[in-house]
Amino acid sequence: MLATTSVGRKLVMAVTGIGLFLFVVGHLAGNLLIYAGPDALNAYALKLKEMPYVVWPARLVILSIFLVHIYLGLELYRQNREARPDKYFQEETLRADFASRHMLFTGLMILLFVVYHLLQFTFHAVPPPEHIYTTDLKGKEVTDVYTMVVQGFQTGGVSAIYILAQVFLALHLSHAMTSVFETFGWTATRFRGYIEKVGPIVATVICFGYITIPLAVLTGNLRLPDSVIEQQALEEMETNMIDVMPDPAGRRGDQS
């Protein structure tokens, strides 16, 4: 087994990491459809839903990649700690940046976030949003993902968690996406300067891509569709009405 040697473990880490990275990129591309409007995003979501034979295997693959990556990450961390049982009284760091020294931490933060994220948007177990709307897409009744996202991010706390998670992801990637080149040996002295920039640049781009969405929502650049606003207003009215209408039989008339 490859993962029984140090170099092998790192190779597996890098391969799974790249797998996860591809997912992250794909996911971002999908998310960015939000700027193309509700229909685009919802249509994309529908398309995925209509291909369960693709989506489910893909999910399984990603899940196992994720589990392998996490398991090995923990394992590496343990082994690396064991490789130096007695700590230094004084230890300076000359080169290793914050990101490289906190890979496990940022990784675990990502994990936490992923769990939360799934609970929120996939299993709808954690609000906001309270309700999931449906919408009419070319005559079909579909889940209104767009609204779900915008509603979610309208809550400041949710956006904050999301943004923070992207920062962790960025930190993770800023080391990881340079490190993979080194792990595979896709380097040469004359490219070294560039390769060392790949990680930070990729990380920044990805992070920025994801973060624009909650920012756009918070700054009002991404708004709920008019139909939803109307519907919401209506609902609000209804709830208000329920509040003030304990006796539909005649009080109103009394008041007027």
The neighbour count for residue 166, using CB atoms within 10 Å, is 22
Closest CA to 210 of 164, 141, 172, 241: 164
Q: Token digits for 112? A: 């936490």
- Contacting residues for 45 by C-beta, under 8 A, at least 6 apart: 142, 143, 145
- What residues make contact with other proteins under the rule CB under 8 A? 2, 5-11, 76, 79-80, 82-96, 100-101, 103, 175, 178-179, 181-189, 192
- Say how many residues touch ligand HEM, by CB under 6 A: 25
Residue 171 and residue 102 in contact, taking contact as beta carbons nearer than 8 Å:
yes
Task: Name which of 6 and 240 has its Cβ closer to ligand HEM.
Answer: 6
Least distance between other proteins and beta carbon 82 (Å): 6
H or E element: which one contains 255? helix 251-255
Instruction: Round to whole Å and give the CA distance between 11 and 17.
Output: 9
Q: Please choose which of other proteins, ligand HEM, none residue 92 contacts, taking the beta carbon within 5 to 8 angstroms, the exact cut-off set by kind.
A: other proteins
DSSP string, 104-120: HHHHHHHHHHHHHHIII
CA-CA distances (angstroms) from residue 159 to 5, 10, 228, 237? 41, 34, 20, 27
Q: Please choose which of ligand HEM, other proteins, none residue 239 contacts, taking the beta carbon within 5 to 8 angstroms, the exact cut-off set by kind.
A: none
Question: Quick check: 165 binds ligand HEM (CB under 6 A)?
Answer: no
Question: Quick check: 44 binds ligand HEM (CB under 6 A)?
Answer: no
Question: Quick check: 167 binds ligand HEM (CB under 6 A)?
Answer: no
Task: Name which of 17 and 200 has its Cβ closer to ligand HEM.
Answer: 17
Least distance between other proteins and beta carbon 167 (Å): 20
Task: Name which of 12 and 41 has its Cβ closer to other proteins.
Answer: 12
Question: Quick check: 205 binds ligand HEM (CB under 6 A)?
Answer: no
- Contacting residues for 10 by C-beta, under 8 A, at least 6 apart: 76, 183
Question: Quick check: 107 binds ligand HEM (CB under 6 A)?
Answer: yes
Residue 42 and residue 32 in contact, taking contact as beta carbons nearer than 8 Å:
no
Q: Please choose which of ligand HEM, other proteins, none residue 5 contacts, taking the beta carbon within 5 to 8 angstroms, the exact cut-off set by kind.
A: other proteins
Least distance between ligand HEM and beta carbon 132 (Å): 25
Positions in the binding site for ligand HEM (CB under 6 A): 10, 13-14, 17-18, 20-21, 24, 69-70, 73-74, 76-77, 103-104, 107-108, 110-111, 172, 176, 179-180, 183
